[in-house]
Amino acid sequence: MPSLTRDEAVARARLLRVDAAEVDLDLDRGAEEFGSRTVLRFTCHEPGADTFLDLAPVRLHRVVLNGTELDPADLADRRLPLTGLAAENVLTVEADMSFGHDGQGLHRSTDPADDEDYVYGHLFLDAAPRVFACFDQPDLKTPYTVRVTVPRHWSVVGNGAAREVEPGRWQLATTRPLSTYFVTVCAGPWVSVTAEHDGVPLGIHARRSLQDALRANAPRLLDVTTRCLDGYQRLFDIRYPFGEYHQVFVPEFNAGAMENPGCVTIRDPYLFRGAATPDQVFAVDNTVAHEMAHMWFGDLVTMRWWDDLWLNESFAEYMAYRMCVEVLGLDEAWVEFGMVRKQWGYAAERSPSTHPVAGSPAPDALSALQNFDGISYAKGASVLRQLIAHIGDDAFVAGVRDHLESHAFGNADLGEFLGAMARAAGRPLDDWAVAWLGTAGADRLALDRAGTLTRTVPADHPARRPHTLDVAAFAADGAPALRETVTLGADDDTVAVPGLAQADVSALLVPNAADLTWAEVVLDEATLAALPDTMADLPDPVARQVLWVALLGGVHRGDVDPRLLLDVVDAAWAREDQPTVLQRVGLAVTGTVAPVFLPPDEAPDALARMAAAADELAARVAGASGSEADGTALVAARTSARSSTDVARLRGWAAGDGLPDALVGDDDFRWLVLRRLSALDALDDAALAEAEAADRSLAGRLAAHGVRAVRPTEEAKTATWDRLRDDASLSNYEALEIARGFWASPDPDLVRPYVGRVGDCLARLDDRMGEDAVSRVATALFPLTVVEDATLEASAAILARDDLSPGVLRSVLDADHVLSEALASRARFDPR
Catalytic residues: 291
Q: Omega before 125 cis (within 30°)?
A: yes
* Alpha helices per DSSP H over 558-626: 562-572, 579-588, 603-621
What sign results for the dihedral spanned by CA atoms 418, 420, 421, 422? positive
Backbone angles phi, psi at 132, to 5 degrees: -155, 160
Q: What are the residues whose beta carbons fall under 8 Å from the beta carbon of 208, sequence distance 6 or more?
A: 111, 114, 116, 189, 190, 191
CB atoms within 10 A of CB 701: 18
SS3 per-residue string spanning 770-800:
CHHHHHHHHHHHCCCCCCCHHHHHHHHHHHC
Burial (CB count <10 Å: 0-12, 13-18, 19+), residue 431: exposed
Q: Are 288 and 345 in contact (CB under 8 A)?
A: no
Q: Are 732 and 252 in contact (CB under 8 A)?
A: yes
DSSP string of 170-217, one letter each residue: EEEPPPSPB-GGG--EEEES-EEEEEEETTEEEEEEE-GGGHHHHHHH
Q: Are 495 and 486 in contact (CB under 8 A)?
A: yes
Q: What are the residues whose beta carbons fall under 8 Å from the beta carbon of 292, sequence distance 6 or more?
A: 225, 228, 229, 232, 245, 264
H or E stretch covering 43: strand 33-44
**For 84, left (φ over 0), alpha (ψ -120 to 50), or beta?**
left
Beta strands 410-412 and 301-303, pairing class: parallel
Give long-range contacts, CB 8 A cutoff, 24+ apart: 382-386. 382/342, 382/345, 382/517, 382/518, 383/314, 383/357, 383/436, 383/437, 383/518, 384/314, 384/315, 384/318, 385/318, 385/516, 385/517, 386/436, 386/466, 386/467, 386/468, 386/516, 386/517, 386/518
Q: Are 811 and 776 in contact (CB under 8 A)?
A: yes
Q: Give the chain's length.
A: 832
